[in-house]
Structure 1
Amino acid sequence: MLILLKKQRAFYSLFLLLLNFAVLAQTPSPKREFRAVWIASVANIDWPAQKGLSTEAQQKAFTAILDDHQKNGMNAVIVQIRPAADALYRSQLEPWSEWLTGKQGKELSSPYDPLDFMLTQSHQHGMEFHAWFNPYRATFDAKAITAPDHITRRKPEWFIKYDGKLLFNPGIPEVRTYITSVIMDVVRRYDIDGVHFDDYFYPYPVANTAFADDSTFTRYNNGFRNKNDWRRNNVDLLIKGISDSINAVKPYVKFGISPFGVWKNKAEDPAGSATRAGAPTYSTLYADTRKWMQLGWIDYLVPQVYWHIGHKAADYKTIVEWWSLNSFNRHLYIGHSAYKVGTDANAAWQDSNEIPRQLRLNRSLPAVGGSVYFSSKSVLKNTNHMQDSLRSYYCYPALVPLMNWKQAKPLPPTTIVRAQQTTKGVYLQWQPVADARYYLIYRLEKDRFCDTPIWNKQYWEPFHAELNNPARIVAKVFSNTTRYLDVAPLEEGKYTYVVTTLDRLQNESAPSQSVTLTYKKYSL
């Protein structure tokens, strides 16, 4: 009897999973949607998996992560390159990270630059790379051993010890200047697509422990009488300063922030959300995240909505709907707690449908432009078939959403110069376009639209509709190549190919001329 019950439960679980996939597959898939994972380096959470790996092992592991997430439908990665005033890249300002080399400040055994490698690989996989910085954290824990040239040793007066960690003092003007210089050094020297901060501003409070910045307030109060308002202004100054600096140097680089999910509870402000969260960003972390969106200081926000739908104090649905009404035409993506799936004791996180339910809710709200998952490792574990669900939900590729406030020069269309069937597949080649970032290849069945030239308005609409269908996208290839081999197992018949050009913000050009060929199966 017990064996029979177990079989019935297993069958029921499989039935629910298949039903979930079927529902997901019926959800309209947008052509543009931000899909990303956080790849955390601190404490070797995601990459590198352990300290002091060889160059070959580091590179192999990172490439494998990208391979898997490409299959998961991701079009961006958010990689932690500065976890604690250290660097996972070659820097003259801060020492090598212990999470990379095994000891803070220890040189790599080879001349390669991890960030250069990660950028190249991410772009080759068709993904944006957002460089994730922790602006204020200087040491990870009380056991941290800092390098002789670490900023905490060079400028000890800049730091406050809190909960065993050393944190930059946000009220000191020189601190803001220094943090900005570290970030802009990366912006200037590397081909990153975005700068990203997480939720650590002023520290999460510890009971009966004050953040000792009274003397700083006395010296640098800037006319503020209320310390809380002064603290918020300190963070505002950093965010606005970095925003201005990025836009002055590389205005196409995006600036995004991923704060704690709740700005304010309605109990403290009628404009807040109907929640009872314990650490709202405005009053606890002194981060006025809503203001940064409203004033356009940041390009996107990823609130960490790490609760389930129906949570009593912080309901996922309530929070996401609130943010969708408070995004002020900036991009809003939602941070999902992949790490809770199948591990959190709450019944909601034992349900394989929780994340899919959240995703369906997101797509029902026009202001929500995508999702980010914490963290990579949690997705790849495929607990409760989460990765399987994502592969169903993201079964078609997507471009990242456009940021209309970032100016872009329209790129001209390319021209297909060769299209032929080979023994390995359909070979395409096209002309290069100056300033292209990617090329997008579409494959359409012959009967999906008329052969009449696309500039004839009578036939433009059905053709345009096909190019707005992500199911027609075959591949997105980086601009260092102008050729592609379509190895998909096609049925015999006529197929039409079109290539478009994407700039670095993924604005899309007009299509190339269409090329149609008759596909025939080779007999062995």
Structure 2
Amino acid sequence: MLKQLLAGAILLMGIMQQAWAQLPPKREMRAVWVATVENIDWPSRRGLSSDQQKQEFITLLDQMQRNGMNAVVVQIRPAADAFYPSQYEPWSEYLTGQQGKPPFPYYDPLQFMIEETHKRGMEFHAWFNPYRAVFSVSRSTIAADHITRLKPQWFVTYDGKKYFDPGVPEVRDYVTSIIKDVVKRYDVDAIHFDDYFYPYRVPGKEFPDNTSYRLYGGNMMKDDWRRANVDAIIEKLSKAIKAEKPYVKFGISPFGVWRNRDRDPEGSYTRGGMSNYDDLYADVVKWLKKGWIDYVTPQLYWERGHRLVDYEILLNWWSQHGYGRQVYIGHGVYKINSNAIWKNPNEIPSQIEEARTLNTVQGSFFYSAKSFAGNPLGLEDTLRYHLYKYPALRPTMDWLPNMAPESPYFDDAFERPGYLEIHWSDGDTTGHTKQYVLYRFEQNESINLTDPTKILAILPQTSDPEYKDRSYVKGKDYTYVLTALDRLQNESLASEPLRIRLNGNKVDIFFEQ
């Protein structure tokens, strides 16, 4: 009987996977992290000219767009420094090689990156490290006006790095002002933190925050006080971001284990050596329950079947702990070829497919951009020609502004040598339209806008929008439909269809009313 049940379960899983292979999700977050600390992903090294930096970022974006990504998560403040002109913090040494030295010839890297990302219809998530202030005390160049020099009482040194002390109230005010400044001045789509709150424990070394604990700890146990400090900045930032721009998302990418089940009945059936709650003092589950963050991207950088922290166990655990917010899965592309298990070319693709079977998981993030170099184990091919073959709209968030634009309408279409040229107008009078979705259906196909395989293109809003359909085949009957998207990917009602019909040797083009 048990064997029959197992066989049935395996068969059902196979059917589900086959169904997904036939119809991928229409909405799915597909993002890649771009780390700048230590020049991990971009720029490739310090001291490149401005033109070289720009060209590298354009090349990176184009590669990720071909891979099917619809968002990038770029680290713009790796260590109390800036990849943009800031009144608070000096230019990052990872740009020019010297902290405080601007790019030459001068440009604003953040503004440039946002514009290039948006040109491609992708979201730009601005990634901050809230508490790391000096990456390496022995190696990092520190500008004279760096905050560690101006406010040394805010900082502690731990394991060769300098950190803001999260227990100092002025630190929370300062970090909030940094992020509010970026949200106000730049057209970012999201603010993003990774897993670094209190730093990872170093055996035999205690984080040196006794002074702030004596001043501010009151009667709280130190661990509870530390968690309360991190809670306070997350809540403060959540309110500050939405007060400035209600549509800007706030996301966290925590370490993959919130708590182990042996420490908490709500925890996962894992035996991780550390956890967010107990070691990094980040109670991510609380932030989700409170609605302080819009999405969570746990870093599930382990393989399926790992004996201590199994990917599948954690995938299912996080899928059940979103509390109405969105859950994206962080995949460790950097692990490919690192050992015998990670030489399996199906590991990452299978992780993506398994995440897709859960309706409470809305997509994937990949760490990191450089790990895609050389098409490791054919991963880029798998994304481009299979898993991400069709474009995906990003998931909507119904607690954020969600008024869809008014529908666009077709103006005209012309047969040209080798293609069909289509023109339309923006029917939205509110100015909310940011993109268009053009669908195409062949003869006798019913109009089904839930089928992403019928999306011909996702196009930017322009003053005179048009599209050249170069896959158009003369003599075939087609129906085209348009919708409009706002910046949060809320989709309008469909336009009236545009019909292309062969009438003898003549092509009739007409619009349905």
Q: TM-score, length-normalised on structure 1?
A: 0.89
Match of 1:431 in 2: 425
Match of 2:468 among 473, 486, 490: 486
Per the alignment, residue 365 of structure 2 pairs with 372
Identity, % of aligned positions: 49
Q: Is the 8 A contact 1:419 1:426 kept in 2?
A: yes
Task: Provide closer, same or farther for how the CA distance between residues 521 and 100 of structure 1 changes in structure 2, counting only shifts above 3 A.
Answer: farther
- Report deviation, 1:487: 4.0
1:502 aligns with 2:498: no
Q: 2:125 aligns to what SS in structure 1?
A: strand
Q: Which residue identity lines up with residue 414 of structure 1 in the other structure?
A: P
Identify the match of residue 444 of structure 1 among 435, 438, 441: 441
Q: Which runs of 4+ in 1 moved over 4 A?
A: 22-25, 518-522
Unaligned runs of 5+ in 1: 1-21, 450-462
Instruction: Tell me how far 1:158 sits from its aligned partner.
Output: 0.5
* 2:199 aligned with 1:203: yes
- 1:422 is aligned to 416
Partner of 2:5: none
Give the match for residue 123 of structure 2: 128
Following superposition of structure 1 onto structure 2, how do residues 5-404 of structure 1 map, counting pairs within 5 Å? 26=21, 28-142=23-137, 143-221=139-217, 223-342=218-337, 344-345=338-339, 347-391=340-384, 392-404=386-398
* 1:418 Cα offset (Å): 2.0
5+ residue gaps in structure 2? 1-16, 508-513
Give the C-alpha shift of residue 110 in structure 1.
2.5
8 A Cα contact 2:198 2:281, kept in partner: yes
Residue among 415, 440, 452 paired with 1:470: 452
| Cα offset, 1:446, TM superposition | 3.3
Give the conservation status (yes or no) of the 8 Å contact 1:76–1:127.
Answer: yes
CA distance in structure 2 between the aligned counterparts of 1:107 and 1:518, rounded to whole angstroms:
58
Distance 1:54 1:167 in 2: 30
Partner of 2:406: 412
Distance 2:478 2:85 in 1: 48
SS class of match (2:132): coil
Describe the superposition over 1:125-175 as per-residue Cα deviations: whole angstroms up to 9, x where unpaired: 110110000110001112111111111111111000000000000000100
Q: 1:224 to 1:446 in 2, by over 3 A?
A: farther
Determine if contact 1:25/1:393 at 8 Å carries over to the other structure: no
Counterpart CA distance in 1 for 2:98 and 2:18 is 49
Structure 1 CA distance for aligned equivalents of residues 94 and 19 of structure 2: 38
1:291 counterpart letter in structure 2: K
Q: Tell me, what secondary structure is at the counterpart of 1:161?
A: strand
Q: CA deviation at 1:112?
A: 1.9
* Distance across 1 between alignment mates of 2:199 and 2:99: 23
What's the counterpart of residue 9 of structure 2?
A: none
Say which SS state the counterpart of residue 70 (structure 1) adopts: helix
Partner AA of 2:395 in structure 1: P
- Across the aligned residues of Structure 1 and Structure 2, the Cα RMSD in angstroms comes to 1.8
1:427 touches 1:483 (CA, 8 Å); kept in 2?
no
- Name which of structure 1's ranges 154-163 and 378-387 shifts more when overlaid on structure 2: 378-387
Q: Confirm or deny: 8 A CA contact 1:24 1:393 kept in the other structure.
A: no
Distance 2:102 2:506 in 1: 55
Cα offset, 1:410, TM superposition? 2.9
Aligned residues: 483
Shift of 1:25: 7.7
Distance in 2 separating the partners of 1:255 and 1:509 = 25
Q: How does 1:448-463 map to 2 (within 5 A)?
A: 448-449=445-446, 463=447
In 1: Cα distance, 2:349 partner to 2:142 partner: 43
Contact kept? 1:414, 1:500, Cα under 8 Å: yes
Q: Say which SS state the counterpart of residue 211 (structure 1) adopts.
A: coil
- The separation in 2 between residues aligned to 1:112 and 1:444, in whole angstroms, is 45
Q: CA deviation at 1:521?
A: 12
**Distance apart, 1:24 and its partner CA:** 10
Shift of the 480–114 alpha-carbon distance from structure 1 to 2, 3 Å rule, reads farther
Q: Deviation at 1:494? A: 1.7
